[in-house]
């Protein structure tokens, strides 16, 4: 037995042997279709030669350099390439700071926001407002901003007191929408207006930043807010001089069919955190974008951002990132995902033939399926049943990887799985994905006693 410290000592994990495209093989020779890009990371699938070549070249030339001593061509070029893709406030003076993972990116973004106010002479600002549900990372600062009780619970005594508002979670909108999601824009604006209340409660001079995922990933299964939600949030941040941080660790660089998911909502953040897809899992890498305004505060101020990791701007990671971003651009993968979104969601919607498929939501190639005991009442499964884990295990048995999540309704109830295939998945592989998913759902249906299609669908089927 290995001395490796696993995530869960009670679970048996397969050992990966090889991977190519969207396929992964373990040491027992079982193959899996990667239906969730790992944890929404491996956006380009496996075996992209341009990226492994770039890594090899960098390792042979200069694998590492500490940013206090040297910069690298790879880091300099990648920063420019990312800024070229970024929204207007990041042009003409925007900068990119590199770190190794999403949690580090969020920590950096939060410290950058604090640094901004120290530099601009408003040192009383120190509070970060975030949302419930939401996920920002595993380190203590990022976890303090994370709205997910199960992840917070063991660490509560060492976390900062939360300052949170509700996420715009339309499926369970408090206006009492029926079995479908609420599409009333007024409700979304009401959710956004909670930010103003929170700022006034904590005192505008004390609040430094608001952080949120444009589309909530791991904590809420690809929940898309109302179309005016982020614009309203932007207005409120501007009104009170609060920095808006977009956590695009999961959504950034094409996952939702746009370079940045915030672009779907026409709202410009002040700081953007990227991770996962930036080097598509070929190396650990994340990036923090500071708008021209934020960068200028440091440049014109003390000139120093008091922060840094040993692996900030790691040349080999940046070489992988540069090749990965270039691959996305050369193959027009962002447009490709946007074009495929319609068919993808059409297929996903058909899964509502099962009563336990409560909601299907998301954007681009980021989809969430919320599992419920009954679609009409939206009653969740009991926590003890662990519906998300049961279904993802069934999918794994069928040779399909999906990304499960839970606890978003009240800290314990609420189950979802996410489907987020690599951008490069081919048509026949997408067919195979749905075939395996349907096989897993059929077995799940037997487990929960939902062996017949919904009444109206049954009617349609009978009349065909």
Ligand X SMILES: Cc1ncc(COP(=O)(O)O)c(C=O)c1O
Q: Closest CB to ligand X belongs to which residue?
A: 102
Taking the least distance from each CB to ligand X, the nearer of 221 and 429 is 221
Bin 10: left if φ > 0, else alpha if -120 < ψ < 50, else beta.
alpha
- As beta bridge partners, residue 287 has 98, 274
Q: Pattern 147-176, binding to ligand X, x per CB under 6 A?
A: ------------------------------
Task: Quote the CA–CA distance of 169 and 457 in Å, as a whole number.
Answer: 27
Residue owning tokens 């120190």: 126
Selected from 45, 87, 212, 217, the binder of ligand X by CB under 6 A is: 217
Does the footprint of ligand X cover residue 404 (CB under 6 A)? Answer: no
Task: Quote the CA–CA distance of 342 and 350 in Å, as a whole number.
Answer: 13
Least distance in Å: CB of 168 to ligand X? 16
Least distance in Å: CB of 21 to ligand X? 23
Taking the least distance from each CB to ligand X, the nearer of 135 and 210 is 135
Selected from 218, 223, 242, 419, the binder of ligand X by CB under 6 A is: 218
Least distance in Å: CB of 102 to ligand X? 2
Written as six digits, the tokens of 211 are 């952080």
Least distance in Å: CB of 454 to ligand X? 32
Taking the least distance from each CB to ligand X, the nearer of 190 and 251 is 251
Stretch in the footprint of ligand X (CB under 6 A) among 52-60, 136-144, 189-197, 341-349? 136-144
Task: Quote the CA–CA distance of 106 and 142 in Å, as a whole number.
Answer: 6
Total number of residues that touch ligand X (CB under 6 A)? 16
Taking the least distance from each CB to ligand X, the nearer of 39 and 457 is 39
Cβ atoms within 10 Å, residue 151: 16
Task: Quote the CA–CA distance of 322 and 82 in Å, as a whole number.
Answer: 9
Cβ atoms within 10 Å, residue 308: 14
Q: Pattern 237-276, binding to ligand X, x per CB under 6 A?
A: ----------x-xx------------------------x-
Q: Pattern 92-111, binding to ligand X, x per CB under 6 A?
A: ---------xxx--x-----
**The length of the chain, given as a count of residues:** 464
Stretch in the footprint of ligand X (CB under 6 A) among 212-220, 225-233, 302-310, 340-348? 212-220
- Picking from 66, 201, 229, 75, the residue whose alpha carbon sits closest to that of residue 129 is 201
Torsional sign, CA 294, 297, 299, 304:
negative
Taking the least distance from each CB to ligand X, the nearer of 8 and 68 is 8
Residue owning tokens 């103003």: 196
Contact 174, 159 (CB under 8 A): no
Least distance in Å: CB of 233 to ligand X? 16
Contact 11, 5 (CB under 8 A): no
Task: Quote the CA–CA distance of 383 and 394 in Å, as a whole number.
Answer: 18
Task: Quote the CA–CA distance of 209 and 356 in Å, as a whole number.
Answer: 38
Taking the least distance from each CB to ligand X, the nearer of 362 and 436 is 362
Selected from 213, 268, 341, 359, the binder of ligand X by CB under 6 A is: 213
Taking the least distance from each CB to ligand X, the nearer of 261 and 424 is 261
Least distance in Å: CB of 431 to ligand X? 28
Taking the least distance from each CB to ligand X, the nearer of 137 and 445 is 137
Task: Quote the CA–CA distance of 222 and 92 in Å, as a whole number.
Answer: 32
Element spanning 20, H or E: strand 16-20
Task: Quote the CA–CA distance of 16 and 3 in Å, as a whole number.
Answer: 17
Taking the least distance from each CB to ligand X, the nearer of 104 and 268 is 104
Burial-class residue 395 by CB neighbours within 10 Å (0-12, 13-18, 19+). Answer: buried
Cβ atoms within 10 Å, residue 269: 30
Taking the least distance from each CB to ligand X, the nearer of 146 and 190 is 146
Q: Pattern 30-69, binding to ligand X, x per CB under 6 A?
A: ---------x------------------------------
Q: Which residue ranges make up the site for ligand X (CB under 6 A)?
A: 39, 101-103, 106, 135-138, 213, 217-218, 247, 249-250, 275
């Amino acid at each position: 037995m290995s001395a490796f410290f696993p995530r869960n000592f009670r679970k048996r994990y397969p050992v990966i042997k090889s991977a190519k495209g969207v396929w992964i093989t373990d040491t027992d020779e079982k193959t899996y279709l990667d239906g969730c890009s790992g944890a929404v990371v491996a956006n380009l699938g496996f075996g992209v030669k341009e990226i492994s070549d770039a890594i090899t070249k960098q390792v042979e030339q200069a694998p590492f350099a500490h940013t206090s001593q040297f910069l690298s061509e790879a880091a300099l070029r990648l920063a420019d390439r990312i800024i070229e893709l970024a929204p207007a406030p990041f042009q003409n003076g925007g900068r990119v700071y590199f770190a190794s993972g999403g949690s580090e990116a969020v920590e950096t973004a939060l410290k950058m926001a604090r640094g901004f106010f120290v530099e601009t002479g408003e040192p009383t600002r120190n509070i970060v407002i975030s949302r419930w549900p939401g996920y920002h990372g595993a380190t203590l600062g990022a976890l303090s901003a994370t709205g997910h009780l199960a992840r917070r619970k063991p660490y509560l005594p060492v976390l900062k007191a939360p300052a949170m508002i509700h996420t715009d979670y339309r499926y369970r909108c408090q206006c009492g929408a029926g079995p479908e999601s609420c599409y009333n824009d007024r409700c979304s604006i009401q959710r956004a207006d909670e930010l103003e209340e929170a700022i006034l409660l904590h005192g505008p001079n004390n609040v430094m930043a608001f952080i949120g995922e444009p589309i909530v990933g791991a904590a809420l299964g690809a929940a898309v807010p109302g179309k005016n939600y982020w614009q309203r949030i932007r207005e409120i941040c501007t009104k009170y001089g609060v920095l808006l941080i977009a956590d695009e660790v999961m959504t950034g660089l094409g996952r939702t069919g746009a370079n940045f998911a915030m672009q779907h909502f026409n709202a410009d953040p002040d700081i953007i955190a990227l991770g996962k897809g930036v080097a598509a899992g070929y190396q650990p890498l994340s990036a923090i974008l500071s708008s021209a305004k934020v960068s200028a505060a440091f440049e014109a101020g003390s000139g120093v951002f008091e922060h840094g990791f040993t692996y900030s701007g790691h040349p080999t990671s940046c070489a992988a990132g540069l090749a990965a971003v270039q691959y996305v651009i050369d193959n027009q993968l962002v447009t490709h995902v946007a074009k495929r979104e319609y068919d993808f969601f059409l297929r996903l919607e058909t899964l509502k033939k099962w009563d336990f498929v409560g909601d299907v939501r998301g954007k681009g190639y980021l989809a969430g399926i919320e599992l419920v005991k009954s679609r009409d009442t939206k009653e969740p499964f009991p926590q003890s049943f662990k519906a998300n884990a049961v279904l993802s295990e069934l999918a794994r048995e069928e040779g399909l990887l999906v990304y499960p999540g839970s606890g978003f309704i009240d800290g314990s109830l609420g189950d979802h799985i996410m489907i987020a295939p690599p951008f490069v998945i081919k048509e026949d592989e997408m067919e195979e994905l749905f075939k395996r998913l349907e096989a897993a759902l059929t077995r799940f249906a037997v487990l929960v006693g939902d062996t017949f299609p919904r009444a109206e669908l049954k009617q349609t089927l009978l009349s065909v």
